[in-house]
Amino acid sequence: MEISSKSYRAQAVTNRIIDSLWNSGQPNRAALSGLRTAKTISSHQAVSAWPALLGFIPEEELSRTGNPTRGEIAIFTAVRAFALYQQGNNERLLNKDGGKTVMEALSLLRAGDPNQQAALDRRTENLLSTTQLSSLLHQLISIVSIVKSKGDGGPLDLGQLARDLYEFQTHIGAYNGAQKVILRWGQQYYAGHHSESNSEEK
């Protein structure tokens, strides 16, 4: 399916950019700093990261109008998440072959600290109920920051995040990528968690 192949390509491109930014433990600090402060790929703060990003993005995914494309938005957001999650660590915290998704990492955080469950559930419900792309992206970056500060520090699969974000923006005919992605994220977050009312023996 064409949509699937393009979303997988966004995933692969994101992984290549992350490899380049990490540079075998000699990270591109200027680009990473720009990514952390930039809210969008078109913002002034992102300019320092453009050399590390735009050369990897396929030409057909580059904007011709000045409005970022689906691919640019998906890849930029995932790479920005890498810059935020990796900050302050000398060991690479991301793994494109078996790392947890962002929602799986959040789910583990929820399971590991009952005191945080209510707050994390509220954040997740807000994320999963939004239909505005800008709000979704803002909330995702906030969640990555929470996972970084309170999680176990394990590897994340941010290439998968780029793939999800590409699909989220895709609405062609009967295909509604947003619905598919939101359901997938809900499954990753809630899987294995039962409410007290459902788990109590009757």
User: Domain 2-194 carries which CATH code?
Assistant: 1.10.520.40
List of residues 6+ apart from 141 with CB closer than 8 A: 77, 80, 81, 84
- pLDDT, one tens digit per residue, over 30-70 is 999 999 999 999 999 999 999 999 999 999 999 999 999 99
Non-local (6+) Cβ contacts of 147 within 8 A are 85, 102, 105, 106, 109, 156
Cα gap 193→47, rounded to integer Å: 42
Q: Are 56 and 14 in contact, with CB atoms under 8 Å apart?
A: no
Q: What global pTM score does this model have? A: 0.90
| Nearest-angstrom CA–CA distance, 99 and 93 | 9
From the list 1, 175, 165, the residue with the least C-alpha distance to 81 is 165
- CB atoms < 10 A from the CB of 22, how many? 17
- What pLDDT, in 10s, does the model give residues 136-184? 999 999 999 999 999 887 889 999 999 999 999 998 766 789 999 999 9
